[in-house]
């Protein structure tokens, strides 16, 4: 099942983790989901229209995929000050 949370979530990057939170008023009762970078793997996925996408997966829940543009993945790396752990697509 695919879910698009475009314009419904706040993505925050710290040096050690990726944080996903929802907008007000839902954030009053929900804490951000914190995913340590040590648990994240990245895979170059496919072309989305004319753009390459990057899939982020976590070690603990590989069935959940966060699909980003290549530019968004570079932004995460810049904000974190480190490269994502890229793996070959299976």
The label of the residue with tokens 């904000």 reads 79
Q: Over the range 65-77, which residues count as b (16 or more CB within 10 Å of their CB) and which as e?
A: ebebeeeebeebe
In the chain (90 residues long), the average pLDDT of successive 10-residue segments reads: 67 91 78 91 80 89 87 93 84
Asked if residue 89 belongs to a domain, the reply is: no
Q: Is 22 left (phi over 0), alpha (psi -120 to 50) or beta?
A: beta
Q: Structural domain tally of the chain?
A: 1
**pTM of whole model > 0.75?**
yes
Asked if residue 85 belongs to a domain, the reply is: no
Domain membership of residue 43 as a residue range: 9-80
CATH number of the domain bearing residue 27: 2.30.29
Asked if residue 26 belongs to a domain, the reply is: yes
């Amino acid at each position: 099942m695919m879910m698009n949370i475009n314009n419904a979530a706040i993505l925050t990057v710290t040096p050690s983790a990726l944080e996903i939170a929802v907008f007000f008023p839902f954030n009053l009762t929900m804490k951000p989901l914190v995913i340590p970078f040590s648990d994240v793997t990245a895979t170059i996925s496919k072309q989305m229209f004319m753009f390459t996408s990057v899939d982020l997966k976590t070690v603990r829940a590989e069935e959940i995929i966060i699909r980003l543009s290549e530019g968004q993945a570079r932004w995460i790396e810049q904000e974190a000050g480190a490269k994502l752990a890229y793996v070959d697509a299976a």
